[in-house]
Structure 1
């Protein structure tokens, strides 16, 4: 296991962090998973108020069932944004009580996803007042935020200079947030990548075409290496449901050198495949088509189509597409079938895509039963 400095917090974190969102089946299974992760060198454990009994399980395990001192572990929990200072104070108290801790190494505001959330944070009488007091009291040592927001909101939140670290989405198959990675790095912030195996493409169950394109590497390994080779990034989330699910990710826990020639060649094959398979229907993710009058997240809809057509990543694309209209601000926007063919987006697309036709095609390919976020 390799370790990296978590930005201005100066914490030395393992390059993989244990996310406990899926450690929900039982406290026994959670204990086995956490103990195994620590034995393999993971020193950063992350949970959240919203993750079912995760805080409670983790608190019991830290208190009585670990072979390492508390001081050798870094514990992060997350609480939602709120304009109510008293409510934030209550939530912080409850999290510390469930975790059975006197202090948190890191606390993140969980999901600054909208401009309204950011306004709550910036308010002089809102939740940040409570969290600043908690830092002064030693109950919280470092403050950060997690986000599923559009890039513009992420950049604005980073520019408040209120936080020491950020949890965000960024993967080989989703590089929209590259500017946020760069800004956070320039501000000396810790950078924590959310769910690179699942949200990064469900790469633990890749389609045969994607496996062939990535050979001799697995798609999961190649995505991990894409991220670990970037020295601006501190740590990647791994969220196992049981100890066995740690085996594959941690095979690359000591491989954080620059990309090799063979790895670069595999990534170039992926680029070539997308270009050849999508031809003139290739959405280049410039976001010039937004805003959409019907609130369709056109670039994300078409990104999912790109993945399904180019790499046969239909399972992943359906999984994400079916979350539109079912996950609120965590996955904003509506499905492609809401397109009214108004043509508003057409003159703004630099590649002259027939966006209404592509939205309709995507809906036919990917629509299915509604999906919700895991903890719901």
Structure 2
């Protein structure tokens, strides 16, 4: 296991972090997973108030005893943004009770996903007042935020200079947030990548086409290496459902050097195949088509189409597409079937895509039963 400095927190975190959202089958499963993770060198554990009984399970597992001193394990929990200082104080105290801890190493504001959320956080009083008090009392050591919001929103949140770290989405198959990575690095913030296996493309069950293009690497391995080769990134989340699911990801935990020639060749092969397969229907993800009057997240819809058509990542595309209109601000936007063919997006597209046709095609490929967030 390799370790990196988590920005201005000056904590040295393992390059893989244990996320506990999926360890909810039972208390014993979480305890076994935690023990195995620590044995394999992980020293950063992440939970949230919103993850069912995760905080309580983790608290009891910590209380049962660890193979290393508490000071060598860094705990992150997350609380939602609020304008109510009293509510935030209550949540903080409850999280400390749940976790059976005297202090939280890293607290993240969970889901600064809208401009309204950001406004709540930048208020002089409100929830941030309670957090400042808790930090002065030593109950919180470091403050950051997680986000599923737009690039512009993430940049604005980073530029408040209120935070020491950021948890965000960024993968080989979703590089939109590279500017946020760059700005966070410039401001010496820790960078924690959320769900690189699952939201990064469901890479633990890749389609045959994707496997073939990534050879001699697995798609999951190549995505991990794409991230670990970037020194601006501190740590990647693993969300195992049991101890056994730690094994394969951690095989690359000592490979945090720059990408090799063969790895770069595989990534170039993926890009070439994307361009050749999609031809003039390829969306380059410039986002100039927005805003859409029907609130369709056109770039994300067409990104999912890119992946389904080029790499047969239909299962992943369906998984994400079905969350539109079902996950609120965690995955905003309406389904492509709401397109009225108004044509407002067409002159803004530098690639002159027939966007209404591609939206309809995506809906036909990927629509189905609605999906919700895991803990719901």
Q: Same fold (TM over 0.5)?
A: yes
Q: Does 1:375 align with 2:375?
A: yes
What's the CA shift for 1:16? 0.2
Instruction: Look up the SS of the partner of 2:361 in the other structure.
Output: helix
In structure 2, the partner of 1:317 is: 317
Q: Distance in 2 between matches of 1:127 and 1:199?
A: 29
Paired residue for 1:13?
13
Q: For residue 270 of structure 1, give the secondary structure of its aligned residue in structure 2.
A: helix
Q: Deviations over 1:100-144 (max 9, x none)?
A: 000000000000000000000001111111111111110000000
Q: Secondary structure at the match of 1:29?
A: helix
Residue 68 of structure 1 deviates from its aligned partner by 1.5
Contact 2:214 2:270 in 1 (8 A): yes
Pairs within 5 Å for 1:205-354? 205-354=205-354
Deviation at 1:69, TM superposition (A): 1.3
Question: Which SS does the other structure have where 1:241 is aligned?
Answer: coil
Query: Residues 319-356 of structure 1: CA distance to partner in whole angstroms, max 9, x if unpaired?
Result: 00000000000000000000000000000000000000
Shift of 1:66: 1.7
SS in structure 2 of the partner of residue 323 of structure 1? coil
Query: Which residue number corresponds to residue 77 of structure 1?
Result: 77
The Cα shift of 1:65 comes to 3.1
CA apart distance, 1:271 = 0.3
DSSP 3-state at the match of 2:370: coil
Match of 1:68 in 2: 68
Q: 1:193 aligned to 2:193? A: yes
Could you say what secondary structure the match of 1:45 adopts?
strand
Deviations 1:255-311 (A, max 9, x none): 001100000000000000000000000000000000000000000000000000000
Say which SS state the counterpart of residue 176 (structure 2) adopts. Answer: coil
SS of alignment partner, residue 285 of structure 1: coil
What do the CA deviations read for 1:68-100 (whole angstroms, capped 9, x no partner)? 211110000000001111101100000000000
Equivalent positions of 1:87-236 (< 5 A) are 87-236=87-236
Give the distance between the partners of 2:258 and 2:43, measured in 1 at CA: 24
Normalised TM-score (structure 1): 1.00
The whole-number CA distance in structure 1 between the counterparts of 2:40 and 2:17 is 11
Unaligned runs of 5+ in 2: none
1:355 aligns with 2:365: no
TM-score by length of 2: 1.00
Give aligned pairs, total: 376
Runs of 4+ in 1 over 3 A off after TM superposition: none
Report if aligned partners of 2:38, 2:67 keep a CA contact under 8 Å in 1. Answer: no
Helix, strand or coil: the match of 2:192?
Answer: strand
